[in-house]
Each structure stands twice: as structure tokens, then as C-alpha cells.
Structure 1
């Protein structure tokens, strides 16, 4: 069977590196060879955790070379040289470049009939789609508008190459500028603009506004790459949960050893970890089904949510959704949404929620009967039959599903409360920890993310909750 590898040189791309890895694993690269250029934002930690799940070979750049371009060139040469006897096809890409096939289902299928040793794939320059701030969703989902085919930048190419046949010369992205671009069978989704805030942060141009105008192309819409999203989300969810498991063990060590340096970074003291709970009684939870005469369920065959009546019930196919609401005196209640029976996949797909966990954290506005994402602050439009929640008995099975979350949040939703919960939780539960983080005060979550860079994805970072 054909073996292939994507090659990436990366610096400070923690917000999107998981999506890049997930996408290129999805389209069929056997191996991902990544060089981290001594990132300071947690990219290295994200890569390390991802490499425990897939064939991702992580390198560090050669710091004896003072110029980043020289370090990148040396890595590219090394990767192609070392891959010559292992891989049939290899491709050099950047962190904002996503290979896409129009009809082929994988790298192997795309290259199967190739006679040439180098297959050029043209850029397709995507703009911001009007987005100004970073998104927790995949770039493929977030940015769907691009420049017209006639744009000169689209003549830039990336090459799928046969390393045994190309010699020692690196593929030149500017070698086809005299030829018209084509997207008939493939394209490089080039998210060079991204959102405006991220673009300005990473762009070192003396004229960033001019560079932004060049890259922010939104002339036409394209959603063909969305076909990769279900699998790339599944892979990305595995990476997210591996990082959360790593975070659990690091927090466990911090609490166990009362690590003063780490606690100081978190704005805490050892005394706060041993302080009694400010809560007089443990929180109470209401368990609800979504709907009355009909119930909202996950269709396990089709993978989406459907309303099912009592006469249509088929428990081999339909998995009921349960909402656990944390009782509060205020108008905003924390809630977790999960399926009654554990999912065989890695996460519960809910339109509008970016969290990629089997349990979805939510904020419920009780008076308005509105459900919001604590991460985006935006409304989650769940089609609850009859717009009603039906309270059900709190069975042992339901409490078991919620035990880890209840342990983590038993004393409240502050950072010290979370660490005391970590101390009591005997084993990692990535889903429960992710939900607890999403319900932290945003300032607490930011301190946690800065202290443990790369372990908390943007898809779990909370926004400030709405005021009653």
C-alpha cells in the first residue's frame, strides 16, 4: 500500500495545530512530520499529546541557525532525505495550508494513477469571511469564501512529490507562475487571512493593512471541503481529550505536592487549597429529557439529532439526550448535555457547540428558556420538541455518568474549587474536566491556560457569561 507523509514547519500555532493535524490525517497521509520552531504558546505540548495517538513525528528546529527561513529549509531537506526510502509521496505544507481533493477520497487514491514524480496543487486563497476574532471551530468550517481563480496568487503551488525521484532540490512553490491555476481535481485551502486579530498578531509586515487587503479575499463561496469535517472533528476530539488528560495529571501533581511556583502562576496559595468550601451544601441537579410527547435523540445510524415519538422508539438506533441542570438561585444555570447511553465515538456533535467532548457544557437562561454555549456565548439552537424539558428520575446510572463532573465542581466553579476537585478525583475524565473548565470564570480559565500552555484548546475557553 502507498505510504505518504505531510511535512510541516510550525511556530506558535496552538489554536489551529490540532485542526491541521486532524485534517491531514483525515485525507489519508500515513504520517505527519512536524518541526516545532521553539514555539512559546504551547504548540509543542499540543504536538506531543497528538503524537501519542497517531504517527506524528515531532522534531525541534536547529537553533544553531539564526534565521527562521534557514531552519525551515534545513528541516525540509532533512525530512525529504529521511523519507526517501520510506514514503512513496511527500508534501511540504504550511500551518495555514490544507490539502483538499475535489473527488478523490484519499492521498493514495489521488496519486494512484500518477505517472509524474511531482503533482502540483494550486493555492485557493480564503479570506476572513468577515470574522474579526479567533474561532474555536475548524478553519474549514469557519472560512468559506475565497478569491476568484484568476487571482495571480493562485498560481503558487505545493507539490506532492515522489522523494526517490526528485533528487536533492526542494520543490519550488513559485515554479508555475506562468501557468493558469486550476482547481479541477485538487486545491490548497490557504487560510492566509484567517480572522483579523490573529492576522495582525502573526504578521510582521511593515504594511500589515496592505497585506491584509491582499489576503482577505471573499469573492466566492466554497464549502466542498466540509465533507472532511466529521472525521477531522473525531480526530481533533481525540487530540483535545489527550491534552485534557495530560492537564489532569499536571494539576494532580500540583495539588499533591502543593507546588508553590505553579500555584503562584495560577494566582493561588497552598492555604486556599485546604480552605473549607464556601458552599453550605453540595449542588443539586435536575435531570431532564428534551421534549414531552416527542423526545430529542441522537440517531446512531445517521449521526444527527432527531425528534422521536413513543411509537417510533427503537433503542438500537436512537440514543436519548439527557440534560443535567445544576440548580441555581440565579437566572443562568449551568448544564451538561449527554446521551443516556455512552457514545461509541469520541464526542457529542451539537450544532453551534465547539467543545468536542462526549458531554457538552451549556448555560441555560431559565427565564428566557434559552440555551447558550459558555465558550462562544452564542445561542445553541437545539430543536427541543415542544420547547419543553421533562424532568426525569435521577437514577444511579445518570448520577454515575455525572460523578466526575460533580466531584470537580462540588465546591463551586472557581479555580481553587477545581483544584480541590482534582485532588478528590482518582482518575482522569477528560470530558468532565473540559466541562468544568468551560464553566470557570474567564479570568480563571485564562490563568490556567497560560500556566499550562497548549493543554486547553480554544474550544473550551469560556467567555464572560451573560448578566441576568
Structure 2
């Protein structure tokens, strides 16, 4: 069977590196060979956790070379040389470049009929699609507009190469400048612009506004790459949950050993964690089914939400949805949405929520009768049968599902309460921890993210403001 590897040199791409890994695993690369150029934002931590799940070979750049371009070139050359005996095909990519096939279902299928030593794939330059700030969603679903084929930048190519048949030099991205580009069979989705804020932060051009105008191309809409998203999300969810599990153990160790340095970074002291907890009644949970005469359920075959009446007894196919609401005196209630029966997959997919967890953190506005994502702050449009949330019995089974979350939030939605909950929670629960973080004040979650770079995924970071 054909073996292939994608090669990546990366520096400070913590928010999107998980998506890059997930996408290129999805399209069929056997191995991902990644060199972290001594990132400071947690990129290396995400890579290390992802490497426990997939064949991702992580290494560090050669610090004896002072220039980043020299370190990158050295890594690319060594990766191709070392891959000669193992891989049939290899491809050098950048962190904002995503290989896409128009019809082929995998790298192996795309290369099956190739006769030459190289397969060039043209750039397709995507703009910001109007996004001003970073998104927790995949770049493929965030940026959906690109420049026209006639754009000169589209003559730039990346090459799938047979490492045994090429010489010692690296493939030249500018080798096809005299030929018209084509996207008939494949393209490199090049998210060079990204959102405006991220572009301004990472761009080193002497004329940043001119650079932005060059890359922010939004002339044509393109969404066919969305066919990779279901599997890409599944893989990304595994990476998210591995990071959260790692975060649990780091926090557990800091609390157990009274690590003053870490607690100080979090703005806490050992005394705050060891003091007797203030007497407060734990939040009252109200369990509801979605609907009344019919129930909203997850169709396990299609992954979509459907309204099912009591006459349908195909319980193997339909998984009822449950909403657990934290009853409070305020006009905004925290809530978690999950399926009555555990999911065989890694996450519950809900439009407008980027959270890749089996349980989705929500905020229910009682005054406005709306449901918002705790992470994106956007309204979640759930087609409730009969427009009703119907109370159901708070069974032992339901409380058991919610126990880790209840332990983490028993003393309130704040950083001190979360850490005290971690101390009481005997084993990690990535879904519960992700939901608890998503319901923290934004500044508390930011403190947690800065103290543990790479372990607090963007897709569980709380929205800065949710209006109730």
C-alpha cells in the first residue's frame, strides 16, 4: 500500500495547528512530519498531545542556524532525505496551506495513476470572508471566498514528490510561473489572509495595508472542501480532548504539590485553595427533553437532529437529546446539551458551536428566550418540537452523567472554584472540564490559557460577552 507524508515547518500557530493536522490526516497522509521552530504559544504542546493519537513525528529546529529560513530549509532537506526509503509520496506545506482534491478521496487515490516524479498543485488564495478576529472553527468553514483563477499568485505550486526519484534539491514553488494555473483536480487552499487581527499580528511587511489587499481576495465562493469536515472535526476533537486531559493532570499536580509559581501565575495562593469552602448550595440542575409530543433526537446514521414521536421505537438509531440547566435567579442560565445515551463518536455537533466535546456548553437567556453558545456567543437555532423544553425526571443515570461537571462547578463559575473542583475530581473528564472552562469569566479562562499554553483550546474559550 502506498505510504505518504506531509512535511510542515511551524512557528506559533497554536490556534490552527490542530486543524492542519486533522485535515491532512483526513485526506489520507500516512504520516505527518512536523518541525516546531521553538514556538512560544503552545504549538509544541498541541503537537506532543496529537502525536499520542496519530503518526505525527515531531522534532525541533536546528538552533545552531540563526535564520529561520535556514532552519526551515535544513529541516525540509533532511525530511525528504530520510523519507526516501519509507514513503512513496511526500509534500512540503506551510501551516496556512491545506491540500484539497476535487474528486479523489485520498492521497493514495490521487497519486495512483501518476507516472512522473512530481505532481504540481496550484495555490488557491482565500481571503478573510469578512472575518476581523480569530475563529475557533476550521479555516475551511471560516474562509469560504477566494481570488479568481487569473490571479498571478495562483501560479505558485506545491509538489507531491516521489522522494526516491528527485534529486537533492527542494521542489521549487515558483517553477510553474510561465504556465496557467489549474484547479481541475486539486488545489492548495491557501489561507494567507486569515482574519484581519491575526494577519496584522503575524505580518512583517513594510507595507501591511498593501499586503492585506494582496491576500484578502474574496471574489468567488467555494465550499466543496467542506466534504472533509466531518472526519476532520472527529480527529480535531480527539486532539482537543487530549489537551484537556493533559490540562487536568497539570492542574492536579499544581494543587497537590502547592506549586506556588503556577498558582501565582493564575493569580491564586495555596491558602485560597485550602481554606474551607464558603457554604453555598450547589447549583440546582433541571433536566429537560427537547420537545413535548415529539422529541428532538440525534440520528446516529446521519448525524442530524430529527423530531421523533413516541410511535417510533428505533432506539438504536435515535439518541434523545437532554438539556441540563443550572437554575439561578439571574436571567441567564448555564446549560449543557448532551445525548441520553453515550456517543460512540468523539463529539456532539451543533451548528454555531465550535466545541468539539460530547457535551455542549450553552447559555440560555430566560428574558429573550434564546440559546447562545458559551464559546462563540452566537445564537444556537435549535428547532424544538412544539417549541417546548419539557422537564423530565432527574434520574440517578442523568446525575451520574453530570457528576464530573457538578464537581468542577460546585463552588461557582470562577477559577478558584474550578481548581478546588479539580482537587476533588479523582479522574479526568475532558468534556466536563471543557464545559466548565467555557463558563468561566473570560479573564479567568485567559489566565488559565496563558499559564498552560497549548492546553486550553480556543474552541472552549468563553465568549467575552454574552448578553442575557
User: TM-score, normalization: structure 1?
Assistant: 0.99
Distance 1:241 1:433 in 2: 9
Query: Where does residue 139 of structure 1 map in the other structure?
Result: 139
Query: Where does residue 96 of structure 1 map in the other structure?
Result: 96
Query: Where does residue 292 of structure 1 map in the other structure?
Result: 292
Distance 2:406 2:123 in 1: 48
The residue correspondences of 1:1-400 to structure 2 (distance < 5 A) are: 1-400=1-400
Residues 324, 335 of structure 2: 8 Å contact kept? yes
Displacement over 2 Å in runs of 4+: 275-279, 464-468
Residues 374, 465 of structure 1: 8 Å contact kept? no
Number of residue pairs matched? 468
Could you tell me how far 1:313 is from its partner in structure 2?
3.6
The residue correspondences of 1:428-447 to structure 2 (distance < 5 A) are: 428-447=428-447
Could you tell me how far 1:428 is from its partner in structure 2?
0.4
Structure 1 stretches lacking a partner, 5+ long: none
Query: Where does residue 402 of structure 2 map in the other structure?
Result: 402
Secondary structure of 1:298's counterpart equals strand
Could you tell me how far 1:277 is from its partner in structure 2?
2.9
Could you tell me how far 1:279 is from its partner in structure 2?
4.9
Secondary structure of 1:319's counterpart equals strand
Could you tell me how far 1:463 is from its partner in structure 2?
1.5
Could you tell me how far 1:467 is from its partner in structure 2?
4.5
Residues 22, 236 of structure 2: 8 Å contact kept? yes
Query: Where does residue 451 of structure 1 map in the other structure?
Result: 451
Distance 2:202 2:454 in 1: 17
Could you tell me how far 1:67 is from its partner in structure 2?
0.4
Distance 1:465 1:211 in 2: 32
Could you tell me how far 1:310 is from its partner in structure 2?
1.4
Distance 1:255 1:120 in 2: 53
Could you tell me how far 1:369 is from its partner in structure 2?
1.7
Distance 1:135 1:465 in 2: 15
Secondary structure of 1:198's counterpart equals helix
User: TM-score, normalization: structure 2?
Assistant: 0.99
Distance 2:93 2:100 in 1: 12
Distance 1:342 1:95 in 2: 35
Structure 2 stretches lacking a partner, 5+ long: none
Superimposed CA distance per residue, residues 96-116 of structure 1 (whole angstroms, 9 cap, x where no aligned partner): 000000000000000001001
Secondary structure of 2:381's counterpart equals coil
Q: Please identify, of 457-466 and 240-249, the stretch whose mean Cα deviation from structure 2 is larger.
A: 457-466
